[in-house]
Amino acid sequence: MIASDPAPALPRDYPPAVLSRMSWMYRVFHYVLIPALLRLCTRLRVEGREHLPHTGPLILVSNHADNWDTYVTGLFLRDRVLNWMARPDGLASPWLGRYWRQFGAIPADAAGLRLALRILKDGGAVGVFPEGVIAPGLVRAMPGSALLALRSGAPVVPVAVWGTERIRAWSVFDPPRVTVRYGPPRVLARVRGRGAQAAIDALMREIAGMLPPRYRGVYALGDDRPMAEVDPHEETGRP
């Protein structure tokens, strides 16, 4: 049982999921630096912002086209920390780990799952990239994010983001169109005979439907391959 597991030790500089404890770096990036860079280097379009709850537990589930996605998709969740689940090896790095923790990152492993459940129980927000890799075209998602939603009962907001892979240092001269699209929140329910993988596949198909066709990858509409035959890390290439 999750409740009986010992809670993982938190680093001293780990920011709790409340605004009053945001790190100074989180505040600077969230309210100043990222908005300024996006205005300067992109033509940003945001759809469905009304689907983001201002309070209460929340799981943000997004595709992962580029490293920019972490900053862009969470930017419109105002006045609260979004704790992204991140690679454990990255968090173990002395420098990268400290940097990520300033933004509320938690490890995408068993200890991180327990911590994420605790954050959600306290009314916080957790962000998940179910694919586990950066890929402009969707690849097979891993079931951990569905376990988080099923065990917590927290509402899930699906997010589709594209165009971030085109942001470059010279984008100020020719800003690419970047789009973030939020879907309505829902609570994932357990279905008899269907596991976490089936639940996350269904959610990823919904995200695929929110993306332009060239980004849908293995979840493309009309792809009739059984999902059991799809490699979890199958690359589909850049559009």
Q: For the segment 45-76, what is each residue's pLDDT rounded down to a tens digit?
A: 999 999 999 999 999 999 999 999 999 999 99
Band the pLDDT of 221: cuts 50, 70, 90.
Answer: low
Q: What is the pLDDT of residue 64?
A: 96
pLDDT band at residue 222 under the 50/70/90 scheme: low
Q: pLDDT tens for residues 80-120?
A: 889 999 888 888 888 888 888 888 888 888 888 999 999 99
Residue 70, C-beta contacts closer than 8 angstroms, at least 6 positions apart? 84, 103, 127
Compare 6 and 99 and report the one with higher pLDDT.
Answer: 99
Arithmetic mean of pLDDT, 199-203: 92
Strands (E), the chain: 43-47, 58-62, 82-86, 106-107, 125-128, 156-162, 177-182
The winner for highest mean pLDDT among 34-38, 89-93, 168-172 is 34-38
Q: Evaluate if residue 121 carries a pLDDT over 60.
A: yes
Confidence band of 183 (pLDDT split at 50, 70, 90): very high
Q: Is the pLDDT assigned to residue 3 strictly greater than 60?
A: no
The pLDDT > 70 percentage for the chain reads 82
More reliable by pLDDT, 177 or 17: 177
- The CATH class given to the 15-221 domain equals alpha beta
Pick the residue with more confidence: 8 or 238? 8
Once rounded to an integer, what is the mean pLDDT over residues 30-42? 95
pTM of the model: 0.83
Query: Distance between CA atoms of 164 and 45, rounded to whole angstroms?
Result: 12
**Where are the strands (E) in 42-201, listed by range?**
43-47, 58-62, 82-86, 106-107, 125-128, 156-162, 177-182
Q: Is beta strand 106-107 parallel, antiparallel or unpaired with respect to 58-62?
A: unpaired
